Amino acid sequence: PQAATDATPVKTPALPDAQTVTAVKHWTDRLFSFRVTRPKTLRFRSGEFVMIGLLGDNGKPLLRAYSIASPAWDDELEFYSIKVQDGPLTSKLQHIQPGDEIILRPKPVGTLVHDALIPGKRIWFFATGTGFAPFASLLREPATYENYDEVVVTHTCRDVAELEYGRQLIENLRQDEMMMELLGAENLNKIRYYPTTTREQSPKMGRITNLLKDGTVFADLGIPPINAETDRAMVCGSLGFNIDLKEVLEGFGLREGANSDPKEYVVEKAFVG
Ligand code: A2P
């Protein structure tokens, strides 16, 4: 920030498509979230992603695809990121502070959108790690509750601390008056949160893929197994996770949809490095 004197010109963005960081929160040594200003002209559907980044050492933009974690109605944009110590972008991005600028290309795209699914009764959000980001958007999106009677959110992480961003987000929905009013207090009862860990002890351990295959999830939630008539799913995790979960969903008779061809489930890879 510059001292405001009469001689100081209005600060002009140093980067192409620059947006200003408004908040940063570090969750673990591997995870952080941040908020930036939203370009006035940017319209997107909750669940979509954009390219964001910084100027690289060579002076060229260094960009990666990031799901927008905030909902379409929000004034600002939120992102949830991994920190990779030797990652070209995240080794630098993890040091951003409020007032800094990042590059944000205002061209949202993606398949984790309600438009890519045909109507159903129950929607499943399946996330691992930072794959929770698009669901952070969709959980704050009124259409999620208008379209479905039940919203099951599964999040599998290695450790309990890695669940915290998602856990707090869901808990805060029920404590924020504006959110309660916007989404409907009774609608928030549609959320069934199902966190699991794989490497640290927690109340529910195991990969969600295995817990689906052996029926544990359905028994725990007291609901019938996934079925193509009623159940819809969105999947966001590592490549291996997406492949394995697709197979599980196909086993239940769900077919993969797209914007141009809505069906019973959609998949997108979470940002991994
Ligand atoms: P696991 O600890 O058994 O590998 P990561 O941090 O490596 O992206 O993993 C995030 C979470 O996703 C971990 O709990 C991990 O479990 C789980 N996971 C990774 N690959 C798969 C997969 N193919 N199927 C189900 N869960 C997976």
Cβ 207 under 6 angstroms from ligand 1: yes
Ligand 1 center from residue 36 Cα (angstroms): 29
Q: How confident is the model at residue 11 (pLDDT cuts 50, 70, 90)?
A: low
Residue closest to 210 by CA, chosen among 244, 236, 237: 244
pLDDT in tens, 72-83: 999 999 999 999
Residue 209 beta carbon below 6 angstroms from any ligand 1 atom: yes
Percentage of the residues of the chain whose pLDDT score is greater than 90: 90
Query: Quick one: which of 237, 223, 253, 229 has its CA closest to 118?
Result: 229
Across 234-250, b (16+ Cβ under 10 Å) vs e yields bbbbbeebbebbbebbe
Residue nearest to atom 5 of ligand 1 (CA): 129
Q: Which residue has the tokens 């949160």?
A: 193
Ligand 1: which of 207, 239, 267 to mutate, judged by most atoms within 8 Å of the beta carbon? 207
- Of all protein residues, the one whose alpha carbon is nearest to atom 11 of ligand 1 is 157
Q: Is residue 56 lining ligand 1, measured as CB closer than 6 Å?
A: no
Closest C-alpha residue for ligand 1 atom 16: 198
Q: What is the pLDDT of residue 55?
A: 93
Distance 128 CA to ligand 1 centre (A): 7
Closest residue by Cα to atom 19, ligand 1, is 241
Residue 263: CB within 6 Å of ligand 1? no
How many CB atoms sit inside 10 A of residue 5's CB? Answer: 6
- Per-residue pLDDT band at 4 (split at 50, 70, 90): very low
Say what the pLDDT of residue 16 is: 73
Any ligand 1 atom below 6 A from CB of 244: yes
Cβ–ligand 1 distance for 199 under 6 Å, the answer: yes
- What sign does the dihedral 80-64-255-246 (CA atoms) show? negative
Q: Compute the distance from residue 105 Cα to the ligand 1 centre, in Å.
A: 30
Q: Is the pTM of this model over 0.80?
A: yes
Which ligand 1 atom is the nearest neighbour of the CA of 243? 23
List where CATH 3.40.50.80 sits in the chain: 114-269
Burial tier of 222 (Cβ tally within 10 Å: 0-12, 13-18, 19+): exposed
216: left (phi over 0), alpha (psi -120 to 50) or beta: alpha
Q: If pLDDT is split at 50, 70 and 90, which confidence band does 271 have?
A: confident
Query: Tens digit of pLDDT for each residue in 183-206?
Result: 999 999 999 999 999 999 999 999
For residues 12 and 233, the model is more confident at 233
- CATH of 18-109 given 3.40.800.20, 2.40.10.220, 2.40.50.140, 2.40.30.10: 2.40.30.10
In CATH, the architecture of 114-269 is 3-Layer(aba) Sandwich (3.40)
Check if the beta carbon of residue 80 is closer than 8 Å to that of residue 31.
yes
Instruction: Looking at the CA of residue 272, tell me the nearest atom of ligand 1.
Output: 8
240 pLDDT exceeds 90?
yes
210 lines ligand 1 (CB under 6 A): no
How open is the CA angle 82-77-262, to the nearest 5 degrees? 85
Q: How far is the CA of 35 from the centre of ligand 1 (A)?
A: 27
The one-letter amino acid code at 161 reads A
For CATH 2.40.30.10, the residue range(s) in the chain are 18-109
